[in-house]
Amino acid sequence: MRTTPYLMSLPALALFAGVVVVPLAMTVLLSFHDWGQYKGIEPVFILKNWHEVLSDSYFHEMFGRTFRIAFCVTLLAALLGAPEAYILNRMKSPWRGLFLLVILGPLLISVVARTLGWALLFGGSSGLVNKALINLGLASSPLPFMFTETGVIVALTHVLMPYMVLAVWASLQRLDPQIENAAIALGAGPFTVLRRIVLPQVMPGILSGAVIVFALAASAFATPAIIGGRRLKVASTLAYDEFLNTLNWPLGAAVAVLLLVALVAIVWGTNRLVERRYAQVFA
Amino acid sequence: MAFLELENLSKAFGTYKAVDGLTLSVEKGEFVSLLGPSGCGKTTTLQMIAGFVEPSGGAIRLGGKDLLAVKPAKRGLGIVFQSYALFPHMTVAENVGFGLEMQGVAAAERMTRVGETLELVGLGAFTARFPRQLSGGQQQRVALARALVIRPQILLLDEPLSNLDAKLREGMQIELRQIQRTVGTTTILVTHDQAEAMALSDRIVVMNQGRAEQIAPPHEAYEKPATAFVANFLGKTNLVNGASVRPERIAFAASGLAGTVRTRIFQGNHWLYQVDTASGLVTVIRQNSGDAMPAEGDTVHLAWGAAS
Ligand SMILES: Nc1ncnc2c1ncn2[C@@H]1O[C@H](COP(=O)(O)OP(=O)(O)OP(=O)(O)O)[C@@H](O)[C@H]1O
Ligand SMILES: [Mg+2]
């Protein structure tokens, strides 16, 4: 009865095909269709949209911005998240649980709510922080936050930080607690222990966290939509606009597919690199 | 004056006394084992010497100097952890060389000494491997080499052989003893295996509930146990009419304590008997000399000590 396992996974496969493969294939197909202001979508096979996306400098700039933001967010999340996870891991029992909740709790709150929080603090001259800074005489005009790349990066880092902390935390958990003592007994100072012993061992965790954060940052929608708005578009907000405002679905589809392909390539490439680098050591 | 002195050393976790007034002097070059059941405070004692656990009372002196005033990183002790705690991202040579690197030993000398030490533990051909690519016994040797290469004042071993199978463990015991003899490092071994402690040590410290019940050479502790706990922990023992008698000291004789053989178990080089007598169940161990032995149900007479 060799076929039984395949038959049994048929429902799941059907569901996967129904909700992932088919819409994806339709989106890819859509990106080759034509569109006109008055004629709407025409089911023909042309490369117009792809030509536009790949040659127009507007799209270059937008994709460049998308990946620049994703890269900065990933870097920031790693620089802040890894030490955060390390400190968390060293905390004693009641505090550790409490702070884990503080760090992971935001995952329970909608991204929109969390991003709106940033907007309330820094949004123009009515933002709380901006108001305070101006009233205190520390700033003459509101800090440029809304509709800036910095703003999107800061808010996205905040939103995506828990994923990095979780990934690093998981690899810290696998660390033999005696290993740091072993290094200390051999004469290593606290900084050497961190740099030579702990960091190399949690590197796979940091890298896998980075892959997750990068992918989520590059495809994020709510945060860039709220902070970046219509003025500072990234790939996902642009695709959204093409679909729902301009109604140029084929162009939006081309943007969406290109984003997907680029992301898959980056994530897959990084994974290959990590696996080859660490296969020997961490099997 | 002794080389390493523990004086009234204590450690309490909350109200629980894990180590309770332990006093011990270790001579230079001596091999001492801390032996006792699980949870009796062996690891805690070792960790206090290493500096990873702060004593709640007492003193530790090394060569007459207060060791507690020295930071763990500056104590210069070699430690082999139960889990080995090898650095998984470093090769065997890098693992062993790490301590020398921390001491600022130049690369050329480092290579020579790492090579020598790995040769000593029989791993000369494995320098470029990662710990993952080694067997348990080989990892254990790397851990030993890593501790020995810094020429430590004291070698601390926390159940280093407990993860190995019986055969390998025996081999490593002999090797460990030989290596210790060769380098002459003062060694403290923690174990709950009485055979291991007796095989390796100059003296053993039998611990129970944080206290030392007896500190003596293995043979003396076995022959003249200070307490009933020591007698029981160091091997099978019979309590006959208030006296403690080792099973291998009891012989079948023409006259003596009469009894019936209840069970007889063949164990290769010896027979293990349980004999029902008027003073209760007595365990008897007899060498297998190839001669015919009493069978189950037979009536026998037991004799020992002065009576035999
Ligand atoms: N950090 C700690 N907090 C509270 N209790 C502890 C702590 N460390 C050890 N103990 C307790 O102290 C006692 C002695 O522990 P220790 O690890 O020294 O035992 P051990 O003799 O090494 O046992 P084993 O043979 O099982 O390793 C145990 O009862 C243990 O539960
Ligand atoms: Mg222990």
pLDDT score recorded for residue A283: 54
Average pLDDT over residues B105-124: 93
Instruction: State the Rg of chain A over Cα.
Output: 23
Average pLDDT over residues A72-101: 92
pLDDT score recorded for residue A281: 66
Task: State the amino acid at position B83 in one-letter form.
Answer: S
pLDDT score recorded for residue B307: 43
Say which range, B69-83, B106-120, B243-257, has the weakest mean pLDDT: B243-257
Residue A216 Cα to ligand 2 midpoint, Å, equals: 45
Average pLDDT over residues B85-100: 96
Domain segments of chain B as ranges? 4-230, 237-303
Rounded Cα distance between A206 and A202, Å, is 6
Show Cβ contacts of residue B221 under 8 Å, excluding neighbours closer than 6 positions: B204, B206, B214, B230, B234
pLDDT class for A280, splitting at 50, 70, 90? low
Q: What is the pLDDT of residues A125-139, one digit of tens each?
A: 778 888 888 888 887
Rounded Cα distance between B270 and B288, Å, is 5
pLDDT score recorded for residue B308: 40
The minimum CA-CA distance between B88 and chain A, rounded to whole Å, is 6
Task: State the amino acid at position B39 in one-letter form.
Answer: G
In chain A, the domains with their CATH numbers are: 66-281 (1.10.3720.10)
Size of chain B in residues: 308
Average pLDDT over residues B184-210: 93
pLDDT class for B172, splitting at 50, 70, 90? confident
Rounded Cα distance between B117 and B182, Å, is 12
- Closest C-alpha to ligand 1, atom 18: B41
Domain B237-303 annotated CATH 2.60.40.10: no
Q: Which residue has the tokens 């403690």?
A: B244
The minimum CA-CA distance between A283 and chain B, rounded to whole Å, is 8
| Tokens found for residue B133 | 């690519």
Average pLDDT over residues A145-160: 91
Q: What is the pLDDT of residues A36-77, one digit of tens each?
A: 888 888 888 888 999 999 999 999 999 999 999 999 999 999
Instruction: Choose the CATH number for B4-230 among 3.40.1160.10, 3.30.70.380, 3.40.50.150, 3.40.50.300.
Output: 3.40.50.300
**pLDDT over 90 percentage in chain B:** 64
Q: Which residues of B touch A179 (CB under 8 A)?
A: 85-87
**pLDDT over 70 percentage in chain A:** 98
Q: Provide the H-helix boundaries in chain B.
A: 42-50, 92-102, 107-120, 136-148, 166-183, 194-200, 218-223, 228-233
The minimum CA-CA distance between A245 and chain B, rounded to whole Å, is 53
Rounded Cα distance between B112 and B118, Å, is 10
Average pLDDT over residues A209-235: 92
Show Cβ contacts of residue B79 under 8 Å, excluding neighbours closer than 6 positions: A181, A182, A185, B50, B147, B155, B156, B157, B158
DSSP summary character for residue B40? S
Average pLDDT over residues B71-86: 93
More confidently predicted of B189 and B167: B189
Cβ contact B297:B260 at 8 Å: yes
Query: Across the interface, do B150 and A186 touch by the CB < 8 Å criterion?
Result: yes
Whether B41 lines ligand 1, by a CB cut-off of 6 Å, is: yes
Mutate which of A174, A176, A186, A201 to test chain B, going by most B C-beta atoms within 10 A?
A186
pLDDT class for B183, splitting at 50, 70, 90? confident
Q: What is the pLDDT of residues A95-104, one digit of tens each?
A: 988 988 888 8
Nearest residue in B to A283, CA atom: B132
Average pLDDT of the residues of chain B: 91
pLDDT class for A106, splitting at 50, 70, 90? confident
Whether B39 lines ligand 1, by a CB cut-off of 6 Å, is: yes
pLDDT score recorded for residue A1: 63
ipTM exceeding 0.85, yes/no: no
Question: Would the pLDDT of B136 be above 70?
Answer: yes
Q: Which residues of B touch A197 (CB under 8 A)?
A: 87
pLDDT class for A83, splitting at 50, 70, 90? very high
By most ligand atoms within 8 Å of CB, the mutation choice from B40, B52, B53, B192 for ligand 1 is: B40
Q: Which atom of ligand 1 is nearest to the CA of B11?
A: 12
Question: Would the pLDDT of B191 be above 90?
Answer: yes
SS3 content of chain B, % helix, strand, coil (to 5): 35, 30, 35
Average pLDDT of the residues of chain A: 90
Whether B11 lines ligand 1, by a CB cut-off of 6 Å, is: no
Nearest CB among A178, A188, A192 relative to B85 is that of A178
Q: What is the pLDDT of residues B271-297, one digit of tens each?
A: 999 999 988 888 999 998 888 889 999
Question: Would the pLDDT of B57 be above 90?
Answer: yes
Residue B38 Cα to ligand 1 midpoint, Å, equals: 8
Q: What is the DSSP string of chain A?
A: -TTHHHHHTHHHHHHHIIIIIHHHHHHHHHTTSEEETTTEEE-----HHHHHHHH-HHHHHHHHHHHHHHHHHHHHHHHHHHHHHHHHHHS-HHHHHHHHHHHHGGGGS-HHHHHHHHHHHHSGGGSHHHHHHHHTTS-SS--S-TTSHHHHHHHHHHHHHHHHHHHHHHHHHTS-HHHHHHHHHTT--HHHIIIIIIHHHHHHHHHHHHHHHHHHHHH--HHIIIIITTTS--HHHHHHHIIIII--HHHHHHHHHHHHHHHHHHHHHHHHHHHHHHHHHH-
Average pLDDT over residues A67-95: 94
| Tokens found for residue B192 | 């709950």
Q: Which residues of A touch B81 (CB under 8 A)?
A: 178, 181-182
Strands B299-303 and B280-287: unpaired
Q: What is the pLDDT of residues B224-270, one digit of tens each?
A: 889 889 988 988 888 887 777 888 888 898 888 889 999 999 988 89
The number of the ligand nearest the C-alpha atom of B193 reads 1
Q: What is the pLDDT of residues A241-277, one digit of tens each?
A: 988 988 899 999 999 999 999 999 999 998 888 888 8
